[in-house]
Structure 1
Amino acid sequence: MKLLNKAISKQVKGFTLPEVLVVLVIIGILLLIALPNLMPLISKAKSQEAQLQLNHLHSLQKTHFYMHSKYNEELSAVDFEQELLVSDGGKANYRIEVVEVGPNTFKARATAVVDFDGDGVFNIWEIDQDKNLVEVTKD
């Protein structure tokens, strides 16, 4: 019995609940300070998706042009599959579409379906038959 009382009376060193809460509050404040500075980096990283998808579409359109001597306005005709959008439960942040087709020209657009920095402006990228990739609207 004495051994049990000795073990119970022995204090274990640790943190109290108020100490843990103070640390969590400090971490939260630091995150709130740092987050606005990181938003441009997050937008830039997400825009890589649009650039890669448009470059891929350009390659498919060029292949279609070499085979049929014309560009096509249908994504399925050039074997491009739009990934399921974030707004529809998928992973893609950009809607890809062909906006202009001529005898020897085409223009495709990637429009963000998510406002990355919350300012109400959606990111838009475009590419043409000469592989000129341009950010039309910055987010």
Structure 2
Amino acid sequence: MRKNHLNHKLRAYNLQEILIVLAIIGILLLLALPRLMPLISKTKSLEAQTQLKQIYNMQTTFRYMHSKYSLDFDEIDFEAPNTVNQNGTANYSYEITEATGSTFKAVATAVVDFDGDGVFNIWEIDQNGNPKQVVKD
């Protein structure tokens, strides 16, 4: 005898059950997100620190060769990554704001407001090679 598969019911979730589960997950995310924002900002700031250390290394090499620091990224062979505003992946824009024979200062400014408070994160590095957070997001 052949069984009729059309009359056989499958166990499944209905639309209401799935919507209730999604609503609960959404509420849990809303509760957890404020606690995660500082961690997200801290993680994204690692990009600025890494790039600023790279600028420091390139500036140091340039100074050994030319006895001065440079204001130009091309002279030190640093290529700034494209920001998210330029269809890239970088969250910071980079600039050398000061360069003399014995000092330099480079700044990384966030192009994204990580926590939505209107304050953009800013990091800087100088000839001493220690990145410092100037404006905390």
**TM-score normalised by L of structure 2:** 0.95
CA deviation digits over 1:89-139, x for unaligned, max 9?
A: 111111111011122100000000000000000000000001132100000
1:45 aligns with 2:48: no
What is the identity, as a one-letter code, of the residue corresponding to 1:119?
A: D
Distance 1:25 1:58 in 2: 48
Q: Residue 30 of structure 1 corresponds to which residue in structure 2?
A: 28
Say if 2:63 is the partner of 1:62: no
Is residue 3 from structure 1 mapped to residue 6 from structure 2 by the alignment? no
Count of aligned positions:
137
TM-score, normalised by the number of residues in structure 1 = 0.94
Cα distance, 1:8 vs structure 2: 2.5
Show the counterpart of 2:104.
106
RMSD: 1.3
Structure 2: runs of 5 or more not aligned: none
Q: State the 1:10 CA deviation.
A: 2.5
Partner of 2:126: 128
Partner Cα distance (2:122, 2:21) in 1: 41
Larger radius of gyration: 1
Residue 2 of structure 1 deviates from its aligned partner by: 7.2
Residue 70 of structure 1 deviates from its aligned partner by 0.4
For residue 11 of structure 1, report the CA deviation from its aligned partner: 2.1
Identity among equivalent positions (%) equals 55
Aligned partner of 1:96 in structure 2 is 94
* Distance in 2, Cα, partners of 1:13 & 1:108: 62
- In structure 2, distance between residues paired with 1:77 and 1:2: 82
Distance in 2, matches of 1:12 and 1:86, equals: 47
| Structure 2 equivalent of residue 115 of structure 1 | 113
Alignment of 1:4-19 (within 5 A): 4=4, 7-19=5-17
Post-superposition offset of 1:15: 1.2
SS in structure 1 at match of 2:102: coil
Q: Which runs of 5+ in 1 are unaligned?
A: none
